[in-house]
Amino acid sequence: MILWSDTTGLYSTTCIQTSLTANSAVVDTLSLSSFRTVKYIIQATQGTSFQVVELLAIHDGAVVNAMEYGNISTGTTRVVTTSFSVASSSSQLTLTRLNTSSTVDIIIHRQIIRFPVTTSTSTTL
């Protein structure tokens, strides 16, 4: 469920809330023709275990390259892992829960730099 979304010119921010009841699930899908770069902050809660993940992704139209550059957990193990794939001209973010015994509650804060740049939205610096 999208909690809120704000789009201004080249930039878009969205907050998504969902739950993982399956071992893994696609939690976000973006058309490759609408963005080039995306940043995610993902909060995962499973019982009394908590995790926050920050990652960046960029694509060339065929392959999504991603780097997880921040990952903090309150326990000794992570709650979820992240992966990207491309399907039907879309980027898909998949989360996999590591402890399959209970539901994982997810909040995702997504920031995208929209693509392509048009003359009406670009500014010369």
The C-alpha atoms of residue 54 and residue 71 are separated, in whole angstroms, by 6
For residue 76, what is the domain's CATH number? 2.60.40.1680
* Residue 61 within any structural domain of the chain: yes
Tell me, yes or no, if the pTM score tops 0.95: no
DSSP tag of 62: S
DSSP tag of 99: -
* Residue 38 within any structural domain of the chain: yes
Q: Are 111 and 39 in contact (CB under 8 A)?
A: yes
pLDDT 10s digit of each residue in the chain, 125 long?
666 566 666 778 888 999 999 999 999 999 888 888 999 999 999 999 999 999 999 998 888 999 998 999 997 889 999 999 998 889 999 999 999 989 999 999 999 987 765 544 444 45
* Residue 93 within any structural domain of the chain: yes
On the 0-12 / 13-18 / 19+ scale of CB atoms within 10 A, 112 is buried
The C-alpha atoms of residue 107 and residue 19 are separated, in whole angstroms, by 9
The amino acid present at 114, given as its one-letter code, is R
* Residue 125 within any structural domain of the chain: no
